[in-house]
Amino acid sequence: MQIHISPRDVKLTAAIHTYVASKVSHLEHYADDIIGAHVAIHHDTTRAGKHAFVIKVHLALPGPDLHGEDRGHDLYQAIDLVVERLAEQLRHRKSKLTKGRRDASRKAKAKARKSELVA
């Protein structure tokens, strides 16, 4: 997965870069097919302290992409919040995919049993 980080009004230090990269790469635990991630880090200077950091993440996946945005008074807290939000979306996506496969398999088995009974 490629991770692109865009800082806006924030100096991108090595510590911030490694923290964001490790948190976003951990999302591959929920979906192996993540193509890339774009992380925008914004510091709103008009908000003095309270929810001044805004983190926006765009995950490129096969099918519909996922987006997450969150705010926090601390940069690391905002990163944690948005990653948790994306993890929840990925868990929901994975549940929908597996449920669809289970339903299709269940219908195929029922159809096979029905054809055995008729024959």
pTM of the predicted model over 0.95: no
Mean pLDDT of 63-86: 93
pLDDT in tens, 9-29: 889 999 999 999 999 999 999
What band does 81 get if pLDDT is binned at 50, 70 and 90?
very high
What band does 106 get if pLDDT is binned at 50, 70 and 90?
confident
Mean pLDDT of 24-52: 87
Amino acid letter, 98: T
User: Could you give the percent of the chain with pLDDT greater than 70?
Assistant: 97
Q: How many domains does the chain have?
A: 1
What band does 48 get if pLDDT is binned at 50, 70 and 90?
low
Whether residue 61 contacts residue 91, with contact meaning beta carbons closer than 8 Å, is answered with no
Residue 116 structure tokens: 């055995």
Indicate which CATH number applies to the domain containing 72: 3.30.160.100
Q: How far is CA 80 from the centre of its chain?
A: 12
Domain hosting residue 55, numbered range: 2-118
